């Protein structure tokens, strides 16, 4: 783990600084306090000084709704929030109670108001915020396994996996999005979702993404898979299922070279609209800064081919350009 944050984004930091609005998912607590939660197989954190790198990159805000920000308990979460606040970096998606975790961050840039909300469907025991306890903004998901055919004839056949979101949590999301839509010109929702190391889009992801857009969101972003995944469109709005890891210093045993593929998502924001969307292929930084990939590199080509394949089932248009990958709705 790196001991300081300055320079941690390398040349990518200039891309963030050059954007009118930018955000990332901060998966690690930035704290030296707290005790590791019992039974946590995979755990992450970094020192508070790493927040200097977030400030250096000029990020507008960070999401904290995920399955690692509380790996070392409430004390660690609170020190993370203090480290961010001391550097003027707003956050959303976690807090001292559910009311704070639900709270949106709204910023204004050149007269355009942009609102952010954060949720997570990946919920280790005790991570969900409540009326009286600290935690992350939860979206609980149910999973069922259905038999496909006669297992006496086809023993060992994999079941059909069915997922759906807890109705009360989904309704809470709808209410939150509607509220923020009345305060901002553009609403962006981040949801920590999906299945680790699997780019497949699960049913609950599409359910949540479409519910957010129906309620007034203009773009939905996801993460947790550690690999890049598809982008689909609903009502002309993008649902970005996973951008992969941009900066992830701890190399887990289940990681592969697929974990090195990532991209920056860029677009132009207008009142009630996200347009001119593009991807900038990059390499995940593992104890080094992330790197934007040149057009001629094998990794640029591999990321383009992956996104083209994964987006095909949703009809999303994926076009290679000299300066990036153009993304557009099937209806455009």
Q: So what's the pLDDT on residue 171? A: 98
Q: So what's the pLDDT on residue 2? A: 79
Over residues 258-282, the pLDDT tens digits come to 999 999 999 999 999 999 999 999 9
d(CA 162, CA 160) in angstroms, rounded, equals: 6
Mean residue pLDDT of the chain comes to 96
Over residues 94-113, the pLDDT tens digits come to 999 999 999 999 999 999 99
Q: So what's the pLDDT on residue 291? A: 98
SS3 state at 25: strand
Beta strands in 231-272 (DSSP E): 231-234, 237-240, 261-270
In terms of DSSP bridges, do strands 61-63 and 105-109 run parallel, antiparallel, or are they unpaired?
unpaired
- Closest among 52, 74, 64, 53 to 27, alpha carbons compared: 64
Beta strands in 12-99 (DSSP E): 23-25, 29-30, 45-46, 61-63, 91-92, 94-95
Q: So what's the pLDDT on residue 1? A: 66
φ/ψ region of 15 (left if φ > 0, alpha if ψ in -120 to 50, else beta) reads alpha
Q: For residues 31 and 72, is the Cβ–Cβ distance under 8 A?
A: yes
Over residues 210-224, the pLDDT tens digits come to 999 999 999 999 999
Q: So what's the pLDDT on residue 170? A: 98
Q: So what's the pLDDT on residue 306? A: 98
Instruction: Pick 12-328's CATH classification: 1.10.1380.10, 2.130.10.10, 1.10.10.10, 3.60.21.10.
Output: 3.60.21.10
Q: Tell me the mean pLDDT in the region 130-155.
A: 94
Residue 136 pLDDT > 70: yes
- 274-279 long-range CB contacts below 8 Å, 24 or more apart? 274/186, 274/218, 274/219, 274/237, 274/238, 277/238, 277/326, 277/327, 277/328, 278/321, 278/323, 278/324, 278/325, 278/326, 278/327, 279/303, 279/307, 279/324, 279/325, 279/327
Q: Tell me the mean pLDDT in the region 134-155.
A: 93
Residue 293 pLDDT > 80: yes
Delimit the domains of the chain by residue range.
Answer: 12-328
């Amino acid at each position: 783990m790196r001991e300081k944050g300055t320079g941690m984004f390398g040349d990518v930091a200039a891309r963030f600084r050059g954007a009118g609005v930018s955000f990332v998912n901060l998966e690690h607590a930035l704290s030296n306090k707290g005790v590791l939660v019992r039974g946590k197989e995979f755990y992450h954190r970094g020192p508070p000084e790493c927040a200097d790198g977030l400030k250096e990159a000029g990020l507008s805000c960070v999401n904290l709704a995920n399955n690692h920000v509380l790996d070392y308990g409430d004390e660690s979460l609170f020190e993370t929030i203090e480290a961010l606040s001391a550097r003027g970096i707003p956050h959303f998606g976690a807090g001292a109670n559910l009311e704070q975790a639900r709270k949106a961050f709204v910023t204004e840039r050149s007269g355009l108001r942009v609102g952010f909300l954060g949720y997570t469907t990946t919920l280790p025991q005790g991570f969900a915020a409540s009326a009286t306890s600290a935690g992350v903004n939860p979206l609980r998901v149910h999973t069922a396994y259905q038999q496909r055919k006669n297992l006496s004839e086809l023993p060992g056949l994999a079941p059909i996996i069915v997922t759906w979101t807890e109705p009360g949590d989904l309704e809470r999301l709808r209410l939150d999005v509607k509220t923020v839509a009345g305060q901002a010109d553009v609403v962006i929702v981040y949801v920590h979702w999906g299945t680790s190391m699997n780019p497949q889009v699960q049913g609950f992801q599409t359910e949540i993404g479409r519910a957010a857009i129906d309620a007034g969101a203009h773009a939905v972003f996801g993460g947790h898979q550690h690999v890049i995944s598809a982008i689909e469109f609903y009502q002309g709005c993008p649902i970005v299922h996973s951008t992969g890891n941009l900066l992830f210093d701890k190399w887990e045993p289940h990681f592969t070279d697929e974990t090195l593929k990532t991209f920056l998502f860029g677009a132009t924001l207008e009142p009630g609209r996200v347009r001119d969307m593009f991807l900038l292929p990059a390499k995940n930084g593992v104890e080094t800064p992330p790197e934007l990939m040149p057009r001629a590199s094998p990794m640029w080509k591999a990321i383009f081919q992956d996104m083209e394949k994964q987006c095909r089932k949703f009809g999303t248009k994926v076009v290679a350009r000299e300066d990036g990958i153009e993304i557009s709705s099937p209806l455009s």
